[in-house]
Structure 1
Amino acid sequence: MKSVLQIGKKILLVLMIIAVIIAGTRSIGMGMNIRTPKNGINVSFYVDINGSNQWINIYGKDIDNPVLLYLHGGPGSATSPIDYSFTRKWSDVYTVVTWDQRNVGKSFDKKNAADKITKDIMLADGKAMTEYIMKYMGKKKITLLGHSWGSMFGANLVLEYPQYYDAFIGTGQCVDIAENEERLYEEAKKWTEGDEEGKVLLSKWSPDKCDDTQALLARSEIMNRYGYGMMKDGRDYNIVATILFNPNYLVKDYISYVKNIETSMEPYMDFFAHGLYECSLLGKYDYKVPYYNINGDMDYQTNYEMACEYFEKVNAPDKKMYVMKGGTHGLLESRSEEFSGYVHDIAKRMASMK
């Protein structure tokens, strides 16, 4: 019994030492990331947006730079646990605002958690957040950069309120969810030819099952199986270090994120199955601001060919398509340095037009 107690004490001591090392390392890493750059800005806080507390972080190396609002995808998938690792790569040419949209991530609000999500609500939130950022930063206009759902969200905002924006940057550009799913399904039928296991997966999913979790998991597995998965190239940053050194997340924030993720996703699943169709960009080609796209040519999550066809029809003061060869849907994370290079090129291009 005595030896068991001694072993238990040693194990507890080792665990305590490991905990202290992790806590110390995290403190140092967070301390570095929480610093405000000289002549820049690094603040995080909540904004009351149409009766819902919504979290933003504003980070930039030069307070005089133009402001860029990053719209995460989903709908309903906040990226705040990791997005500082790639959005800060744009911070020398833009002051970057990252935003957890209504009731997701750090913006989860129990009293509003069951509220219905609609196109009108999201556009109203986007407009209100834009107005707040413009006032807070003293800017007459801002740039929008949207990924996946965020690209469709952002395009709709720019089309509806062009007076607020100086440019739109879409990546993993989504054009129309119905046609997007039909095209993916047709491609998946080709991929699964001669592959019985693949056909079994395909039988679990069809374009009309957008509110079925198991079907969506099968959809994702199909793309991973044939080399078109969102993160086929992995991440070009260390996910453990990124989470550990996140300056905006305490342990309780991570617990809350995991605890509430299913509850926060429920209204968005209904939106994905129904309301998202109302956000289609088909037939909406006239932009009053410059229109830019950064897309991977192997992206089937949001169909690359559709994005190219749409781009050709767009009328805008300026437009350019940047293509990441061999890139899939996770291009911001998997090839963030290359992606950042395109963002820098856009900033330079816009500056030359002033």
Structure 2
Amino acid sequence: MTDTPIINGNKQYILIEGESQENPVLLYLHGGPGTPDLFFVKDTLKPLEKLFTICYWEQRGAGRSYAALEDKNSISLEQMIMDAEAVSRYLLQKFGQEKIYVLGQSWGTFLGSLVVQRYPELYHAYLSVGQVTNQYLSELESYNFINEQATLRKDSGVLRKLKKWTVPSKDAGAKAWFRYLNFQRWQVARYRGSMRQKNIFLLAIWKLLTCKEYTFADKLNYMKGSTLSVNRLWDAIINTNINEVVTEYQIPVYFFHGEHDHHTYYEGAKDYFEKLSALKKRFYTFPDAAHFPHVECFEEFERIVREEVWRRDKS
């Protein structure tokens, strides 16, 4: 079922999937910014619909919400936080529940950390997949990973480009970062730092092109939304250290991180987790996964969610 509520003056899309509306609600915060991945994760996560009503929210200016955005200057970090709060309250009212769960992936963990810190009363727990901490340090680590892999493989073309495409400074601006990331993220995918077993970009492109939930116009708008979101939000991401801004959670938090993640580096997330304070906290390492452990190792992810999050909350 697709829902299109007006969120802070802007129509936004939510795909709602589940077997029973009596189940607890799980709000899925996609990554990017600006790259909804329901077409990539929905089929894999389908068994979770027995436990939750999963709400895949396409954020302001992203995916199917792009065409409905009249004021492109309205995208800001503060606006995204307010939108996430409004969506959460909308779902609480729609399903008649007192609290919901929230799952963030990649950029969704950046947004998720800030939202659950500000509005803990809205949430049962926070599930983090590929937690963002200090993203500038993640970019430095990711650059070194590509350099090491290109050296091992004697990939002279990539090595030449790495000398040209060095990591921009924090104040380089979103456009410079966007140009860099277009090159850099493709190499991370090629060297299996996005998904361990596959090139995620090739897989995601195919999934997007065959996605039944998207019209042809939605598919054309997808990259427009991604470009817009990165240009509007990247400065905030690269200059905000979550490990300094969010040091305490008043709800249970569960971190899921692939050991081979070279988007949001594993060691940074682990160090952040060790230092943070929370009502309850757990960190789960996936040694055979990269940036998408909930997809790459779904059976183990589902077991943990069912036994450690859903079942314990019900008991």
- TM-score with structure 1 length normalisation? 0.77
The reply to whether residue 50 of structure 1 matches residue 8 of structure 2 is yes
Aligned Cα root-mean-square deviation (Å)? 2.7
The alpha-carbon deviation at position 245 of structure 1 amounts to 7.4
The reply to whether residue 96 of structure 1 matches residue 54 of structure 2 is yes
Aligned match of 1:297: 259
The reply to whether residue 114 of structure 1 matches residue 72 of structure 2 is yes
The alpha-carbon deviation at position 269 of structure 1 amounts to 2.2
Other structure's SS at 1:318 match: strand
Residues 196-275 of structure 1 correspond to what in structure 2 (within 5 A)? 196-208=156-168, 211-212=175-176, 213-230=178-195, 232-233=197-198, 246=212, 249=213, 253-275=214-236
The reply to whether residue 80 of structure 1 matches residue 38 of structure 2 is yes
Whether the 8 Å contact between 1:152 and 1:280 is mirrored in structure 2 is no
Aligned match of 1:338: 300
Whether the 8 Å contact between 1:115 and 1:267 is mirrored in structure 2 is no
The alpha-carbon deviation at position 239 of structure 1 amounts to 8.9
The residue type equivalent to 1:310 in the other structure is Y
Change (3 A) 1:83 1:190: closer
Whether the 8 Å contact between 1:71 and 1:145 is mirrored in structure 2 is yes
Residues 72-108 of structure 1 show CA distances to partners (whole Å, capped at 9, x for unaligned) of 1000002233432123221111111111111221212
Aligned match of 1:313: 275
Distance in 1, matches of 2:162 and 2:233, equals: 20
The residue type equivalent to 2:161 in the other structure is L
Residues 45-86 of structure 1 show CA distances to partners (whole Å, capped at 9, x for unaligned) of 101001110011222223222111011100000223343212
Residues 115-155 of structure 1 show CA distances to partners (whole Å, capped at 9, x for unaligned) of 24211010010010011000111111111101000011111
Aligned match of 1:130: 88
Q: 1:161 aligns with which of 119, 144, 162?
A: 119
Distance in 2, matches of 1:218 and 1:205, equals: 8
% identical aligned pairs? 26
Distance in 2, matches of 1:116 and 1:55, equals: 17
Distance in 2, matches of 1:337 and 1:217, equals: 32
Change (3 A) 1:59 1:115: same
Distance in 1, matches of 2:162 and 2:9, equals: 42
The residue type equivalent to 1:296 in the other structure is G
The residue type equivalent to 2:220 in the other structure is K
The alpha-carbon deviation at position 279 of structure 1 amounts to 4.4
Distance in 1, matches of 2:271 and 2:311, equals: 23
Q: 1:151 aligns with which of 106, 109, 122?
A: 109
Change (3 A) 1:160 1:134: same
Other structure's SS at 1:81 match: helix
The alpha-carbon deviation at position 278 of structure 1 amounts to 5.0
Change (3 A) 1:64 1:232: same
Higher relative contact order (CA 8 A, sep 6+): 2
Structure 1, unaligned stretches of length 5 or more? 1-42
Whether the 8 Å contact between 1:151 and 1:173 is mirrored in structure 2 is yes
Task: Count matched residues.
Answer: 305
Q: 2:138 aligns with which of 180, 205, 208?
A: 180
Distance in 1, matches of 2:143 and 2:205, equals: 31
- TM-score with structure 2 length normalisation? 0.86
Whether the 8 Å contact between 2:196 and 2:290 is mirrored in structure 1 is yes
Change (3 A) 1:234 1:178: closer
Aligned match of 1:69: 27
Distance in 2, matches of 1:193 and 1:245, equals: 37
Change (3 A) 1:291 1:104: same
Larger Rg: 1
Aligned match of 1:3: none
The residue type equivalent to 1:345 in the other structure is E
Other structure's SS at 1:323 match: strand
Aligned match of 1:18: none
Structure 2, unaligned stretches of length 5 or more? none
